[in-house]
Each structure stands twice: as structure tokens, then as C-alpha cells.
Amino acid sequence: MEGLNNSANNDESDKTSMKNGEATSATDSTTASVPVSHEPCTKPDYLEHSNVRYNAANTLLLDDDNDAVMMEWERPLMNAHASILTHNGTKGKRVMNIGFGLGIIDTALQSYEPSLHVIIEAHPTVYEKMISDGWDKKPNVRICFGKWQDELPKLIAEGLEFDGIFYDTYGEHFTDLEDFHEGMAKVLHKPDGIYSFFNGLAPDNLFFHGVACNCVKIQLSHLGLDSEFAQCEIQVDEKDWDGVRRKYWHGRNTYYLPIVTWKKDSA
């Protein structure tokens, strides 16, 4: 997914600002002089984009601006998240994923034969793709079509609980992530539920990335949760960005995968 927006995203030392220094947005006259790489990642109107589309190979999901909603190079990361969320690939877990995208993490989660697999997805085009690919007929899958902001409260009201929860949306703000955490903590099984999210916080600057990770850690700590960040080595090739207007990963080879669990004393 595109990096969650926060104030750290506009750092001048961003590598891509050198590479894309001349590039400007063609979508909004008010940002016409802003380099593409310095535009905010938040897109409050994304869910109204009418030209959200998959490429023929199903390896790329683009929005109306040709920005990438999801890309194939994230597959190893999604596989790692899925393994951790199912407690190292244990079968029969109850899992919930927010944001279907290319369905990479949901495919990985299915391979662990969950006893309940809830997917919340809000974009109509993505939802149509889920239906045409038969996700509504997969074992123990329940699709909640709508924004997590509307769907999660219904699951809380039902009294559902999950062993593993993943959040990876698009165009949302850091404050949305914080809001999600408030609800997530109500459905994460105690004592051994595991929560994680795509860690695209301040992706263009390692210092600010560290700051953002610590902000999340503090918020989750107030909810009774401990956060660790497991290092995963990744490689993203230059050619992976073909056809994508703006990069959302900036050459860093280490991904810090969040592993969030209940504190021992709050469980």
C-alpha cells in the first residue's frame, strides 16, 4: 500500500525527490508546483475514485491518478505477515484483514485454513473483483463490504474475536490508524491475539519512520498492547514501478514488520 501519511513524509532528503524533482501532479492545480514525491499520501476521496483498476496480470492495482494502491513486490511481506498472524502458520485460527487489494495476504491466510476469515473492503471495484474471483465462496470467508469505520463496530457488537488481525488500507491518515486501534483492541482475542499492519509509516526517511513507529507503539501501549518490529529484508526493483506515478517505497532494504500482542499484565 501507499505509505500512511504523516508530517514526516515531506522530508527534503527523500531520494525520490531527486529522481522525480521535475515531476508535478497533473491532477490538481493547487499542487501543480509540488514535486510528486512531496504530495501528501492521504487521499480522502479515494473510495470515490471511479477508475480504480487491476492490470492484466493482477500484479498491480492503480487508482485514478495512476498511484499504486497495491503492488506485487509486497508479496513476501504479506506472506510474512500472514504467517505471524496465524501464530507461525497454525491452522484453524480466526483472522480478520482490512483491505483486500490484490488479495495477497488473504490468499496466504487461506492457505492456513482459518476457522473464520473476515475481510473488510470498501472500494466497489475491489469488491467486484473479490466476488468474480469467488472469494465469497471460499471456506469460512466472510466479506464485509464497506469502510472499516462502519463495519468494525458491527463485528464488535456481534461479540466476535480474532486470533490475528491485519490492517492495510489506502489513502488513510495516521489518525485513522489510531482510530482503528481503538476498535481493534475490542476484538483481538486475549491473551494471545496478534495484530499487525502494513508498516508504510514515513517510508522516505528512516529517522521519521522510527519516530512514527514509536508513536504507534506508545498508543498501542495505552491500549494494553506491546509492539515489536521484526526486521525483514526486501528488494524492490526499479522496473517494479513501471506505470506507477509515484513511489511509496524509497529503496530501503529493511522492512520493520509490527508484531503487536497483549501485555502480560493486561491479558
8 binds ligand SAM (CB under 6 A): no
Report the site for ligand SAM in 72-91 (rule: CB under 6 A). 78
C-alpha cell at 53: 483498476
Between residues 35 and 200, which has the closer beta carbon with respect to ligand SAM?
A: 200
Among 148, 229, 249, 255, binds ligand SAM (CB under 6 A): 148
**Least distance between ligand SAM and beta carbon 178 (Å):** 14
Handedness of CA 214, 220, 226, 231 (dihedral sign): negative
102 binds ligand SAM (CB under 6 A): yes
Among 8, 122, 184, 257, binds ligand SAM (CB under 6 A): 122
C-alpha cell at 149: 469505520
**Least distance between ligand SAM and beta carbon 78 (Å):** 4
Report the site for ligand SAM in 222-241 (rule: CB under 6 A). none
1 binds ligand SAM (CB under 6 A): yes
At 251, the amino acid letter reads G
At 148, the amino acid letter reads W
Between residues 35 and 69, which has the closer beta carbon with respect to ligand SAM?
A: 69
Among 69, 177, 184, 220, binds ligand SAM (CB under 6 A): 69
105 binds ligand SAM (CB under 6 A): yes
Between residues 4 and 216, which has the closer beta carbon with respect to ligand SAM?
A: 4
114 binds ligand SAM (CB under 6 A): no
62 binds ligand SAM (CB under 6 A): no
For residues 121 and 137, give the distance between their C-alpha atoms in angstroms, rounded to a whole number. Answer: 16
- For residue 127, CA distances in Å to 74, 100, 122, 123, 266 come to 20, 8, 7, 6, 37
Q: Which of 69, 37, 14 is nearest to 208 (CA)?
A: 14
Strand 94-98: give its sheet, edge to edge.
141-145, 116-121, 94-98, 164-167, 194-197, 254-262, 225-233
170 binds ligand SAM (CB under 6 A): yes
**Least distance between ligand SAM and beta carbon 179 (Å):** 10
3-state secondary structure labels for all residues of 75-124: HHHHHHHHHHHCCCCCCCCEEEEECCCCCHHHHHHHCCCCCEEEEEECCH
Site residues for ligand SAM per CB under 6 A: 1, 69-70, 78, 98-105, 120-123, 126, 147-149, 168-170, 172
